[in-house]
Structure 1
Amino acid sequence: MSPAPGPWRGSAATLPVAPDTPSAPFSLTADLLRLFSYVKYENLAAGVSGGVMSTMVLHPLDLVKIRFAVSDGLELRRKYNGMFHCMKSIWQLEGIRGLYQGVTPNIWGTGASWGFYFFFYNAIKAFNKEGRQSELSAAEHLVSAAQAGVLTLCLTNPVWVTKTRLVLQYNADPSRKQYKGMLDALRKIYRHEGIPGLYRGFVPGLIGTSHGALQFMVYEELKRGYNKYKKMPSDAQLTLAEYIAMAAVSKIFAVAITYPYQVVRARLQDQHNNYSGVIDVIRRTWRNEGAVGFYKGMVPNLIRVTPACGITFVVYENVSRFLLGLHK
């Protein structure tokens, strides 16, 4: 029996095979090599700089956001009347140290996340634009940012788990806290929960890559539209106020659409409650708190992420242009 026709629309017995026809694995390897040729470590350094700077300034608001996100009625949790009451209570009980609980993994996580995100995003974007004169479409920016987000999450999820655990230590006495610091938390989570413990919240985190994808798509489209309106090149340097405005608009848009995943992820990573998975979190949150439960902590989150995003993008744009020799 002769072989069935293959993808070349001919018989496998009669089709001549070119000796230099690349196989699929070879093609994939070649594509990866081409992708890595667009990697610029300056983007990594600039992204890390922006992430670290914004975290140092605004970490207390991140702490408040997480405490509100997990406030599901458990007796052990402290009750807060609002964002400022929460900050005041933490300050009175634990001082400045209390407001900066979890700052070490937050610096590592935010710095690494922004660094890797810009690192991968710019490489993927350049790879997709190879040999083209036209700009990437909004959909292509969206896909490039989503791919960068997935790669970044795979590398940084354990850091976010430790940050959440450290932020949710309510005891003011350091000797009675479950975790002494970032490395201690990483070690204990791995020892007691294994690799799955370090990747708690990974599934909603994957869903959350849509947040970064939407943000970068809107940011790129705003820059392109503005430069086109001003009759400037698409990569022209903008003013400080222009970068801040575009970063803020893109961040608010992304947060408004995707915030519930952050609540789900924070609750999965919380050491004070046990959920069997994403569906269990969604079902119990909806049953006990309704739709409002999925938006707890959104106000302090917006107050934090909007200036944080502005700081990050301004630092990134200026540091990357300086390192790449594009500054004026």
Structure 2
Amino acid sequence: MSDALINGLAGAGGGIIAQLITYPLQTVNTRQQTQRDLKKEKRKFGTIEIMRQVIKQEGWERLYGGLTPSLVGTAASQGVYYYFYQIFRNKAEAASLERMKKGIGDGSVGMFSSLVVAALSGCVNVLMTNPIWVVVTRMQTHTKIPKKSQPGQTLSVSPDETVFAASELPPFGTNHAIQEVYDEAGFWGFWKGVFPTLIMVSNPSIQFMLYETMLKKLKKRRALSRNSGVTAIEIFLLGALAKLGATVVTYPLLVVKSRLQAKQVSTGDKRHNYKGTSDAILKMIRYEGFYGFYKGMSTKIAQSVLAAAVLFMVKEELVKGARILLTKDGIDTVKSRPP
């Protein structure tokens, strides 16, 4: 089994576990990002308050709306990303060794090369998996409303939405979300938000650059002091720190992407309808101010930092375990051969 395939499968496994742990926070964050509150509207809903409202008004299962396609998307995204990351990383390492033979550099992959490798991997991942995340966003932000309401059934949760008792809600699954996206924008609707998402490859690029730089320095210090290797807890903390730095820098792009992928308002207030990335940015600045680009940031930081930390820790342990198993199998095979 190739090293790229081991990393791809380990990344998918780590991503699924991280997603299961942090998914309710992700759902709340997506709803916060897509709330179209105007400047004059003062009401702001915190993470815990939104979570309580969703549970009370729509049922606790709505916190896991879109979980199935999200798990598929996470497995696909992490698998694709880590697979191509390892391939591009191997090529970068080979190129560095060739330069060292010519007397250039020390043979290691520099910070800029790591950034390029992560960016290329991210672009491949975005282009291949964007349709999945459009469907997930629709399912996370969908507020189920029955065709007819009875007095006393409604509860106002935001300036432009009304939700109903969970028992009265019609079903809305993956197939409904796919059909809704197709009816609204056709085939290319599944690539809504791809432009800001492609720009957002800088997030994992920055994340991996920070992570690998910190990990490299820590390993070097351990080697000099002749201490044991890097522990799982240290990997957890490095992953958290790297993701925190990347999230703070790129969060506004994530909000724009969510706005574009959520259901557009085709009638009524045109301030809530976005024709594209630039239109969304201009309308958000005009009607919501710069605060609109940072809605739900605290929730996102908590969710993404925890998810990244779990992902890195689980992935490294899975890669380590796979290599041990493969090495053991190789030794056992050699021992079992007849003389």
Deviation at 1:118? 1.0
2:201 to 209, 219, 222: 209
Change beyond 3 A, Cα 1:69–1:188? closer
The answer to whether residue 79 in structure 2 is matched with residue 115 in structure 1 is: yes
AA matched with 1:137: G
Q: Which stretch of structure 1 is more off in the superposition, 114-123 or 201-210? A: 114-123
Cα separation, 2, equivalents of 1:147 and 1:321: 25
Range 123-132 or range 165-174, more displaced = 165-174
Preserved contact between residue 218 and residue 230 of structure 2 (Cα < 8 Å): no
Percent identity among equivalent residues? 31
Q: Following the alignment from structure 2 to structure 1, what is the Cα–Cα distance between the partners of residues 62 and 244?
A: 28
Who is 1:198 aligned against? Answer: 190
User: Out of 132, 135, 138, which is 1:165 matched to?
Assistant: 138
Task: Tell me: CA distance 1:249–1:276, structure 2 relative to 1, closer, same or farther (3 Å).
Answer: same
* SS of equivalent to 1:203: helix
Kindly indicate whether the alpha-carbon contact (under 8 Å) linking 1:116 and 1:152 is maintained by their aligned counterparts in 2: yes
Aligned equivalents of 2:299, 2:76: Cα separation in 1: 23
Q: Output the amino acid matched with 2:220.
A: K
Match of residue 27 from structure 2: 63
User: Shift of residue 181 of structure 1?
Assistant: 1.6
Where do 5+ consecutive residues of structure 1 fail to align? 1-36
Report 1:257-296 matches (<5 A).
257-273=249-265, 274-296=273-295
Deviations 1:44-69 (A, max 9, x none): 21111111101111111001111111
1:13-36: per-residue Cα shift (whole Å, max 9, x none)? Answer: xxxxxxxxxxxxxxxxxxxxxxxx
- The answer to whether residue 243 in structure 2 is matched with residue 251 in structure 1 is yes
Q: d(CA) in 1 for partners of 2:224 and 2:252?
A: 38
What is the identity, as a one-letter code, of the residue corresponding to 1:213? S
Q: Cα deviations across residues 171-225 of structure 1 (Å, max 9, x unaligned)? A: 2558755x73223322442354222100000000001000010001110100101
Query: 2:333 is matched with which residue?
Result: none
The reply to whether residue 144 of structure 1 matches residue 113 of structure 2 is no
C-alpha contact 2:4 2:83 (8 A) present in aligned 1: yes
The unaligned stretches of length 5 or more in structure 2 are 101-106, 145-163, 266-272, 329-339
| Counterpart position of 1:303 | 302
**Count of matched residue positions in the alignment of Structure 1 and Structure 2:** 285
Output the amino acid matched with 2:21: V
| Mapped partners of 2:229, 2:177: distance in 1 | 42
Distance 1:237 1:155, change over 3 A: farther
Distance 1:127 1:39 in 2: 13
* Deviation of the 1:103 alpha carbon: 1.2
**AA partner of residue 306 (structure 1):** V
Q: Counterparts of 1:90-129 in structure 2 under 5 Å?
A: 90-129=54-93
Q: Secondary structure at the match of 2:172?
A: coil
Tell me the C-alpha RMSD between the 2 structures.
Answer: 2.4
Query: Which digits, 9 at most, give the CA deviation of each residue in 1:131-188, with x for residues without a partner?
Result: 61621000000000000000000111001100110111112558755x7322332244
- Which residue in 2 is equivalent to 1:6? none
Q: Where does 1:171-190 land on structure 2 (aligned, <5 Å)?
A: 171=144, 173=166, 180-190=172-182
Residue 129 of structure 2: which of 156, 168, 172 is its match?
156
TM-score of the superposed pair, with normalisation by structure 1: 0.81
Per-residue CA distance 1:46-101 (angstroms, 9 max, x = gap): 11111110111111100111111111138xxxx75311100011111233211111
| Contact kept? 1:248, 1:309, Cα under 8 Å | yes
Note if contact 1:80-1:86 (Cα within 8 Å) is conserved in structure 2: no
- Deviations along 1:276-306, whole A, 9 cap, x unmatched? 1111111011111211111101110011111
| Paired letter, 1:245 | L
Q: Residues 8 and 79 of structure 2 are in contact (CA less than 8 Å); yes or no, is this contact kept in structure 1? A: yes
